């Protein structure tokens, strides 16, 4: 349904450090980079991270969040650890979320600009 999503950030260099680390365990890398603009994905860019003069104000009560597909539970764990190491804040440690489904394994963090992000794996291991 969606081709890509774009988010605005205050500092593209800081965002690059965060997203490079957090998305690497999930198999995503920075595929496109120009001054103030980063494009992340597996084979094609699906997430654009761009410096913006007025990024959307973070609001944890808004319901807005971005969920990234993870290949394994171990990659969800690694996403969470890397995100926290690079300035993210905990918003739910890795684990099963039985209320979401039998094999819904996820971790939740808040990035340095206040965006809520999730890594999710449906595999049983």
E strand residue ranges, the chain = 5-9, 29-34, 37-41, 45-51, 66-69, 89-90, 95-96, 105-110, 116-121
Question: By three-state DSSP, how is residue 62 classified?
Answer: coil
Q: What domains appear along the chain, each with residue ranges and CATH number? A: 5-121 (3.10.180.10)
Condensed to tens digits (0 to 9), the pLDDT of residues 27-74 reads 999 999 999 999 999 999 999 999 999 888 888 788 889 999 999 999
> For residues 79 and 60, which has the higher predicted lDDT (pLDDT)?
79
The answer, as to whether pTM is greater than 0.75, is yes
Is residue 121 a contact partner of residue 76, using CB atoms and an 8 Å limit? yes
């Amino acid at each position: 349904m969606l081709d890509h999503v774009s988010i605005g950030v205050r500092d593209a260099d800081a965002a690059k450090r965060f997203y490079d680390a957090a998305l690497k365990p999930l198999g995503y890398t920075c595929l496109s980079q120009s001054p103030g603009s980063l494009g992340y994905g597996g084979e094609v860019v699906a997430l654009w991270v761009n410096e913006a003069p007025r990024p959307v104000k973070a609001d944890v009560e808004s319901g807005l969040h971005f969920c990234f597909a993870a290949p394994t539970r171990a990659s969800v764990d690694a996403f969470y650890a890397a995100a926290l190491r690079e300035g993210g804040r905990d918003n739910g440690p890795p684990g099963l979320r039985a209320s979401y489904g039998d094999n819904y394994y996820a971790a939740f963090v808040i990035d340095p600009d206040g965006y809520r992000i999730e890594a999710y794996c449906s595999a049983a291991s």
